[in-house]
Chains A and B, each alone.
Chain A
Amino acid sequence: MWSDLIYRLRALVRRRAVEKEMDEELRFHFERQVEKYVGSGMARAEAERRARMEFGGVESVKEECREARGVSVVETTVQDVRYAVRTLRKSPAFSVIAAVTLALGIGANTAIFSVMEAVMLRPLPYKDPGRLVRFEGYARSGVFSGTDSSVTYAEFEAWKSQSRAFADMAAYYRPGGFNTVTLTGAEPETAQGGFVSANFLPLMGVSPIAGRWFTSEEETRRERVVVLSEGLWMRRFGGSGDVIGKTLEMDGVGARVIGVMPATFQFPDRGVQFWMPVTTNSHWGENIPYDTEHTRGYWARWYVVGRLKTGVTIEQAQAEMSAINTRLHREAPDPNRLSNIQVQALRVELSDNTRLAICVLFAAVCCVLLIACSNVANLALARAVGREREMAVRTALGAGRGRLIRQLFTESAVLALFSGCLGLILAALGIRALVAYAPADIYRLDQAGIDAGVLGFVVAVSLLAAILFGLAPAWTISRGDPNESLKSGTRGATADIGLTRTRGLLVVLEFALSVVLLTGAGLLVRSFLAVESVDPGFRPEHVLTMNIAQPAGASEARRRELDEETMARVRAIPGIQAAGAIDGLFQRQPEDFGVRAVEGRAPDSKVSWAPLTWERIRGDYFQAMGARLMRGRLFTERDGPESPLVAIVDESMARRYWPGEDPMGKRIKGFDHRGKNDDWVTIIGIVEDMRRHGREQKLASHVYEWYKQSGDRTADLVVRAAGDPKALAATLRTVVRGLDRTAILSPVMTVEHQLSDQLAPRRFQTWLLSLFSLMAVVLASVGIYGVMHYSVAQRTHEIGVRMALGARPGNVVRMVIGQGIMLAVMGLGAGMVGSWWLTRLLGSLLFGVTATDPVTFGAAAIVLTLVAILASSIPAMRAARVDPLTALRCE
């Protein structure tokens, strides 16, 4: 073994030297022979002639020596590959169909894999991200009770000074309101910043691409220095190199630019545009009364990120943090402080639905690839029959079974790798389409692309495919008896029964997988239709909306005045039917505020408050949205600050608190912003339930208040246009801007568009899964067509006999189609059982249908049966045209 290897290596590495040695050896032999003849008295010329004659072809001797020496593994492989390419080129139809089929499977697989890799698998873009942790605990503080990650600064400082498990810990402002600033300028905009400790960046282990990060001295001195995100740098400074030292104005105060971060750095959240010292936040040092019921949201406003010391496990850190936390609670109990602290590895924040959708899609493309593989295996099997003679000849010439299998496998591998290359091109296009059409809010999706990992995946998946589709043909071919094949000269009839069974099984498998995909896609389509048909409770057509935010520092009186004027001017725009406003039309999720008291009922404890949202509205909000008033009246301008407090509730609210009663005139107390918590509010009207936050969200109850009484802003303008709303958009913006130069205006959008945006992820998943199941069905139909076609060709003689004995063409057609249906039904059966198990994994992606929806399952069965009938009808027609005479004569 050893000597063999060394010998081969030598032959490979020192090819030249070995060749030269062989030359010398043979020349020596020749000359020695000549000498022998000369010694026996022959003339030199004659001796040479004779020796040469004996010697024969030197080249052929050399070639045989080379062969005997054992050509290197590399050389055989090269030979095999050449042979494979030649064979594949000899049957272009097979090669092209197989390559395209596989390329589709591999391409789809690769595209989805690259998304999965970018979104789920790629490590976070920080140094040694495995050692970064976050903290989560439970707060028992009044309305803020619940799982939370925010802590008070004192809490953070205690953790930092008392723990030993961490190399470092940094605090930053909780993403959201605290980090929102207005970037002032010609067109003011709202921006999210990261207000973080100075040690934050060293802790994350990332460097700025320009300039520097701020120091702890700057943090202590509360210096207004800012590090820009790449996006902000591009947008506000055109990506210019001399940005360092320039000033960025936010909320009317300047900050000195000292650095720029790379685009991949998006911490604490994706929208972050800049970073500043935690001490420069406008809420730093803000002092509002501390209480344990209502103010946790203000006091506990920091999140903490930590880096574990090398050698410290999460469990050890967890044990230490639990001990510290228990001690803190013992020394000074405080419901505002988190309890049950969990130390968690920092990982990509991905919604469960996105994660699930990506996994489902990946499983789907794996099925498609499996179907593609069985199709190609089927084709290769059909071709294998034609190659039995070739294989027999090679066996007779001394090729071992292992050698044949290796050769066949090389062929499969060449085909698969070629398809892999094609697939890679498809994948590159696919990824581009995916990124372009996918809903925008999937973190890091835009980073999906072909990289080393994806390339490795393509190679691996191609080789895996080669094994899958190459195994059956290699086995079948190499098993053939060379004697039999050579003697009969045609295909050996004996092997064919097993072969037909194998091919039938492959088709059954294809159908089974198609059923799974089809039912999965069907369920998603039904869910999508169900979501779409949910009545949103308002008429979104012709409705425009725009958010008007005021920069910090504007006086409250001035803001109200502007809101008032804006409403008046907008109403005056020709073509506008109704105009109103609300605070938080789409942006906000339903809040966890309830009703503190309902007249005539025992007081509700806070724990039993169900999610309920208090909304402030202005103008003709309900008319603009197109929501119907079911009972009572709407607000009027007479409902002023001094008149009795009134509210409108929606139907679900009415059902919840006054089932079977008339809520009109009933009184409630809310948790509101006016500081008049103890005033009774009278219900004057009931409106339709509206699902603004998404048609698939659970219905949330609403209490609507009038702006004149609640005193809050109403930032979202809602306008109903008489005609095409898009034509009004520009006018609307000009009017508002003309009135208020400092306001931050969002783009004007149609409500219809926003509603459709809410459905974007669902639409996208449904569309993709449908596409993949379509691919599966097409491939499966090609598969069944191939098998039936082959089976008819093989049974020509039998069919001829049948027809000679009086079978009509109709009988033959029925027989062939019946055989196709048999295969399909077997596949359907297996697939239904599989679907029954698998569709429940779709879980939260389903809406309004059960995982085993009989309609979907039935439809899938019908579609696939029809496909089977269609695909086998062409071979069936062929069978019916068999001429008994010709068929019998063939024998």
Chain B
Amino acid sequence: MVFSSLLFVFLFLTANLIVYFKCGEKNQNKVMLIFSLVFYAWGGPKYLVLLVGETFVSWFTAKKMAEDREQYGSDAPVKKYLVIECVVLLGLLCIFKYLGFILGNVHALTGFPKSVPQIVLPIGISFYTFQLISYVVDVYWGKTKAQPVFWKLLLYSSLFHQCIAGPIVRYQTIADEIDHRKIKMSDVYTGVRMFSLGLAKKAILANSCAAAADSLLPAGVENLKMQATCGMWLGMIFYMLQIYLDFSAYSDMAIGMGRMIGFHYDKNFNYPYIAGSVQDFWRRWHISLSTFFRDYVYIPLGGNRVSTGKWVRNMAVVWFLTGLWHGASWNYIFWGLWYLFFLLLEKFVIKDKMPKAVGHVYTLMVVLFGWVIFKFESLKELGVVFGGMFGIGANGFTSMNVHTVFLKYIFFLIFAIVACTPLYNNVRKKLFDVGRENDTVFMVANVLDMITPALMLILSTLALVGASYNPFLYFQF
């Protein structure tokens, strides 16, 4: 089930919230667990076994660590449990996510094996694997206590808010809130607002960007070759907007739903497209993933407190893995290395020499071309678009088709770009600021706050019903 579907909003989430608030504090965790398992099973019940199994291994190894330390003191040899955890979880991730890719490459090089198995990627495996590893490693490092109750750890790993599309919530962030969380009305309001804005961002903005991007950049080398240079640029700009609006909307919805019931997840995006450098971009983009790699890979490797050579190696490892995490295909690896290149460039060459305005433009360009690499799993398509954007092999500079799309989306495009900036939040803050002294402005701010969630929900519903609009020419009934 996806958050941006009518079934989720009007059936699943509504039922979840009603039952949650009616069942009494004692049963709330159980209610969340049951709903989460149903939610996960919606995408194919067979993978539930994997989620429960991985959680069990994590629960067991962490518990063993805690018990051994209790029994034999803090020096007890518990590393073996960490090894078991990592081998099992990363092993399963490799099998389900990367085996097809690895065998495909081996096959291309050696002709062996004869047929490459097609393995379906279990939903959310990239996210919950990382969540569970972070839990066991934190227990190993003594940063958090082991969870004694299995189903409570399962609640953490399967919680439908973040299980299938992030953010990668650390166990320690919500460890206390599993057993003790207070629901404040101000939290409920913030949650409702974040959720509804996230839903609108996904259903209206991201989906429309996707439609525009898909029409400008149709699949297939031959089709892409028919596009003009301007069409490729416009298509990629829509794609760039789509990918941020889509992903951050999902995080907003997850964080919002958590807030409604008293969970506080950390921010996952912080307006990445206003970044002044590539390094800055990665502090703002998918924060829960970059901090995961920072804390569990980069720093254990020595971080930056090592020789320059080793530091470059550490960076290379982190960015290779970051690329690979996004998908089992070469273009994702190139995408990670693309960022490695610019991060090294900033460290050794650019430093702080770039004027601010230039820095913003440069960052946006690096990110935009990064998305080109990211978008096309087929290296041939990637080549066509990369070349075409510089006029090489494109079908002319511009075309009537491109003008039509541009004009058709012109106001929307401006709006979507503004939606990537903190403008709305700043205006809202300003209104409340001025409102302290001015009653009219204060009322405007309050009324806006009051109607925003309901209005966003209504607009999103229209967009979601409208998304299934699919006229048939020849069919009659």
Are A and B a genuine interacting pair, yes or no? Answer: no
Which residue numbers of B lie inside 8 Å of A, CB to CB? none
Which residue numbers of A lie inside 8 Å of B, CB to CB? none
